[in-house]
Structure formats: C-alpha cells, structure tokens
Amino acid sequence: MKLWAIFKKELRIYFTTPLAYAILFVFLLVTGFFFYVYFSGFAMVSMQAAMNPQLGRDVNITEWVMRPLFTSFISIILFLSLVPMITMRLFAEERRSGTIELLLTYPVRDGGVLAAKFLAALALYGAMLLLTLLYPAMLRYFTPLEWGPLLTMYLGLLLMGATFLSIGLFFSALTENQIVASLATFAMLLLLWSIGFAAESVGGVTGKILQHLSVVERFDSFSKGLLDTKDVIYFVNVTLLALFLTLRALEARRWKG
C-alpha cells in the first residue's frame, strides 16, 4: 500500500537523521527541568500543609504540577518551537530536491500523500506526548492522581498538536525553503497563541471574534479537566481547513507541472 510506504519513509527519515532525536532531547530536557521546579514547589507546600492542615485543602497535584506544566511550558515549547521543526521539511524538502513531482505521480491520490505525511508527523508528536507519561507515573508513586482531568489535558494536547501540525504542513507545501516554512509556521502559531490577549484589549464584537479564534481560550477548558464539544470542534475544524488548503496547494503544484 503506497500510503503505508510513504508513512514509513517519513518516519524513517525522522529517526535516521538527528532531527527526531534532537527534538526529543530538547523537549525532555526543558520539560524535565520545569517538572522538577513545579514538583519541588508542590513538595514544599505539602510539607507546610502537614504542619497547618488548613493549607492542605488547596494542595492538589494536578493543579500545582501537571496543569501549569502543560499550559505554561509543554504547550509553548512544544507547539511554538518544535512543531515548525517537525513539519518544515515534509513538503519543502520534496520541492527543493525536485522529488515532489515524482511523489505526485505515485498511484495514490494527493490526499493520500498528505495523509501519510501528516500521520508521520503526528506519530513523532505522539511519541513526545508518550514520553511525558513519565511525569504522572512518578507523581503516582507519591500521591493519588485525578486521572479524568489528566486524560482530558492529554486529549487537548493531542488535538492542539494535530491542529498546529496541519498548519505547519500547509506552509511547508508553499515553499521549497525549510527555514521559510519554519518561520512562517512559527509566526502563525504565535499569532493563534497570542490573539486571545489582544481580544481583552479590543473588546466588543471584534474582541469576541478574536477570543473565539484564540488557541489559549480553547485549550484552557482542557487544562482544567473540562471537555467541551465546542473546543473539540474548533480544533478539528481548523485542522481540516489547514489540510484542505494544503491539498489545494499540492493540486495547484500538479497542474503547474
């Protein structure tokens, strides 16, 4: 099956070059450091709560460690910095080397090529999320965890990651320069990330529209352990829109010859 062959080829490229290992190393190094910082703060407050039981009512491992880790650092580092590195070469390198024409002549639809590359990027991203399971596993050793909110956070990270990867694929399909694709992806992700802050100062109808488009606002419910179908639909719709635009870009490339 050609789609499976393309998927395996992309994964092989990731893991036979330093790219995937560099991404995983940087990701674990930085998130591991901040996990240590948050957990140390939680341990200190827990010790104080042991001497003053009234403080113990507000001490929650999910709120003190996992939620700030996911919202403040994993989200920013992962999506704004590392996602552009994951997606920048997927189509840009094919265009630069001239193999995009050969790829598009495979007996598989453009949508199949796009799906294979998207799933390969999502697989690498999924590996990064799986590595973060080390953190709740270590926390479980010390204290019980609230698995419902934790799983909701992971679902939010998965949906937001898929959305950002699809945006990165779109910009990679527009240029043969990987650096340009990476910078364009970073700029768009930063815009989606910061647009909610602008909504607060704009106000009115425009502010509500900006708030509706804000990734921060959409992920906030997931980080609180709340599953809202509106947020799920938002991420799914943006992902499908970005993939649709990428498909149109590939088809335009085919017609141009």
Taking 80 as the threshold, does the pLDDT of residue 107 lie above it? no
Segment 188-206 shows an average pLDDT of: 77
**b/e burial code for range 172-189 (CB count within 10 A of at least 16 → b):** bbbbbbbeebbebbbebb
CB 3 within 8 A of CB 107: no
* Average pLDDT over every residue of 109-124: 87
Is pLDDT at 142 greater than 80 in this prediction?
no
Residue 198 or residue 219, greater confidence: 219
pLDDT band, very low/low/confident/very high, at 58 (cuts 50, 70, 90): low
Closest CA to 128 of 19, 5, 12: 19
The pLDDT-based confidence of 108 (bands split at 50, 70, 90) is low
Helices (H), 143-228: 147-174, 178-202, 204-213, 215-223
pLDDT of residue 139: 84
200 compared with 40, residue with greater pLDDT: 40
pTM of the model: 0.88
pLDDT surpassing 60 at residue 159: yes
Closest Cα to residue 220, out of 77, 40, 67, 106? 67
The CA-atom distances, in angstroms, between 148 and each of 82, 87, 158, 200 are 27, 31, 15, 31
Tell me the residue type at 220: D
Say which amino acid occupies 248: R
Coil, strand or helix at 89: coil
In the prediction, which pLDDT does 77 show? 66
Determine the average pLDDT of the residues in 182-191: 90
For residues 251 and 257, give the distance between their C-alpha atoms in angstroms, rounded to a whole number: 10
- Select, from the ranges 19-33, 103-117, 224-238, 241-255, the one with the highest average predicted confidence (pLDDT): 224-238
More confident of the two residues 78 and 240: 240
